[in-house]
Amino acid sequence: MKTGMIINYAGGFDETVEELVALEDAGLQLVAMPEAYSFDGVSQLGFIAARTKKIELLSAIFQIYSRTPTLTAMTAAGLDYVSGGRFTLGIGASGPQVIEGFHGLKYDAPLGRTREVIDICRQVWLREKVEHRGKHYTIPLTEEDGGSGLGKPLKLINHPVRNRIPIAVAALGPKNVELVAEKAEGWQPLFFHPGKYKTAWAESLEAGYAKRDPEMGPLDIQLQIPFAIGEPDPGALQMIRNQLALYVGGMGARDKNFYNKLAVRYGYDSEAKEIQDLYLDGKKEEAAKAVPDDLVRAVSLLGTEDEVRAQLGELHEAGVTTLLTTPLASTPEQRISDVGTLARMTAELG
């Protein structure tokens, strides 16, 4: 199991990067950079690449709508180049709130678009002349497709450091998870419940694995998870509870909330409805109180060393191979110490 962390959207980037050097020495193996509708992740990943030596880099995630497939491939090749082959391309569809609300693009066909983006990226990295005629992307655009007729197939000018950059996909829906198991090197599920994930995704994973090229190797499950060693801070638990209420209750319209549907697939039918009803009525505190305690604990990594070690065993048994932790300790010294302890524990799992 690999020890990684995900950087917070808000503030303190310089301080975090300074801390990464010490975290790398303590055993941190990977750092992930989110994007959402904050600063772009590319410039920050490039900065981190310049300030670190061995730590792996991951986008978590680049949205498939906001860049063309070939630009996504170029960006990944560029980040892999400046980091000396340390980059993994994390992509995802995001949701209509961000894609339509911030980018002004129609949120349509996330499954089909993801599949085509993966295929085009791999064609670019092989330095083939890019020719793709899919349902959602056509390269090059001909006169028949509404183009000028001047476009012609082109290949990437530079030679990538690697002609097969790993791709990880953020996915929650059954068909999306099936696609990930078939086509991607990694999977970024949010709110992964080690005791209930089979209820939500077993059939999808099995169907995807049946079509997977054996040469791709096993799927790298990259889990975002809040983390601290010691007696759980009530404030930290409340923060996790608030986040779950936001996502399950308010991240999307009543019938278009992926996280609410996931909670239902986990078996929290009535709880998911109550959280959503309260949140959409503006009763955010009540919605947070309605989040089940066992769900809060299942999607976090908090407690004494023995408790964390037991939780790691459950995650390992469920197939998790990479931790993208959010260290919750209040001081740099404690965060570095906690990450060092976690790195030793994950090393024991292999």
State which residues of the chain have pLDDT below 70: 9-11
Please state which of the four CATH numbers 2.40.420.20, 1.10.287.310, 3.20.20.30, 3.10.350.10 is assigned to the domain occupying 2-223: 3.20.20.30
Three-state secondary structure of the chain: CEEEEECCCCCCHHHHHHHHHHHHHHCCCEEEECCCCCCCHHHHHHHHHHHCCCCEEEECCEECCCCCHHHHHHHHHHHHHHCCCCEEEEEECCCHHHHCCCCCCCCCCHHHHHHHHHHHHHHHHCCCCCCEECCCCEECCCHHHCCCCCCCCCCCCCCCCCCCCCEEEECCCHHHHHHHHHHCCEEECCCCCCCCHHHHHHHHHHHHHHCCCHHHCCCEEEEEEEEEECCCCHHHHHHHHHHHHHHHHHCCCCCCCHHHHHHHHCCCHHHHHHHHHHHHCCCHHHHHHCCCHHHHHHCCEEECHHHHHHHHHHHHHCCEEEEEEEECCCCHHHHHHHHHHHHHHHHHHC
pLDDT tens-digit map of 44-75: 999 999 999 899 999 999 999 999 999 999 99
In the chain, where the domains are located: 2-223
Q: What is the pTM of this model?
A: 0.93
Buried b (16+ CB within 10 A) or exposed e, 283-308: ebebbbebbbeebbbbbbbbbeeebb
How far is C-alpha 184 from the chain's CA centre?
12
How much is the pLDDT for 10? Answer: 65
Separation between Cα atoms, residue 141 and residue 255, nearest integer Å: 36
How much is the pLDDT for 9? Answer: 67
Partnered with residue 6 across adjacent β-strands are 32
Name residue 323's amino acid. Answer: L
294: Cβ contacts below 8 Å, ≥ 6 apart: none
